Structure 1
Amino acid sequence: LIDDGISPSAEDIICGVYKRPTGNGQQTADYSWWPKATIWENRGMNFGYWTTDCEKWFQKRLGDIQCGTATPRTAKEWTNILK
């Protein structure tokens, strides 16, 4: 059998996920440098192919990360950004 999906832990690595304490006991929150696939898809960004607008967004985000002006974001923050 061929599995075309990736595991949640592999997706976390690809998206640059950090688990940060919330201050509520042992609870943590996920912060990531890149949005996870479900957020990308749920925000209408998955057209079945990589668009020019997607590439522009990616290059801008990558540039911000390289310049040190970007920060990891929560799923809620990604959802709001990709409206």
Structure 2
Amino acid sequence: MCCYGRCHDLQTKCKSRYHLWEEALSEKQMDLLCGVYRVYRDASGSTSFTQDLSWFPRERSFRNSGLDLGHWSADAEDWYQRRVQLYLSGDSKGRCLNQAEWKRSIRLWRSTIRTYKGMEQVSRGLIKRHIASPID
């Protein structure tokens, strides 16, 4: 769950006080950026008559992929640039995908996720010990 506006107060070890601000996009804004289309489909064997297709994966499909390191990495940029070139080339592989297809498409090495989570834990400890402590 995202916070809107000021969401954390920090006090550094030298007693300076900082306010952290966090902003988030709405789901509609995210869908617009990802190029989401709701399309009708053949309902045989399905309870839903529509599905969402998109030019880029939604956040929930991107999350926990090997590209999701908590920041925009060089690998994510390379993947993005290759995807844009695929669309521009007119290749038949360059089509909108549903979210299940996106999850399969961007699944990379599972160890990336474990590595990221470990780095996140170590980073939090470092910041807490040496830089700042939260104010309740």
**Fold shared per TM-score above 0.5:** yes
Which deviates more from structure 2 when the two are superposed, residues 60-69 or residues 19-28? Answer: 19-28
Conserved? CA contact 2:67–2:75, under 8 Å: no
Q: SS of the residue aligned with 1:20?
A: strand
Q: Is 2:35 aligned against 1:16?
A: yes
Which of the two has greater strand per residue? 2
Residue by residue over 1:14-68, the C-alpha shift from the partner in whole angstroms, topping out at 9 and shown as x without a partner, is: 0001111023387210000000111111223221222111111011001011112
Alignment of 1:72 with 2:91, yes or no, is no
TM-score, structure 1 normalization:
0.86
TM-score, normalising length: structure 2: 0.55
Root mean square deviation, CA, Å: 1.9
Query: Of the candidates 11, 20, 24, which is equivalent to residue 5 of structure 1?
Result: 24
Partner of 2:117: none
- Return 5+ residue gaps in structure 2 as ranges: 6-21, 108-136
* Identity across matched positions, percent: 28
- Give 5+ residue unaligned stretches, structure 1: none
Distance 1:75 1:62 in 2: 18
Aligned to 2:13: none
Deviation >2 Å, runs of 4+ = 23-27
Could you tell me which of 52, 73, 78 is aligned with 1:51? 73
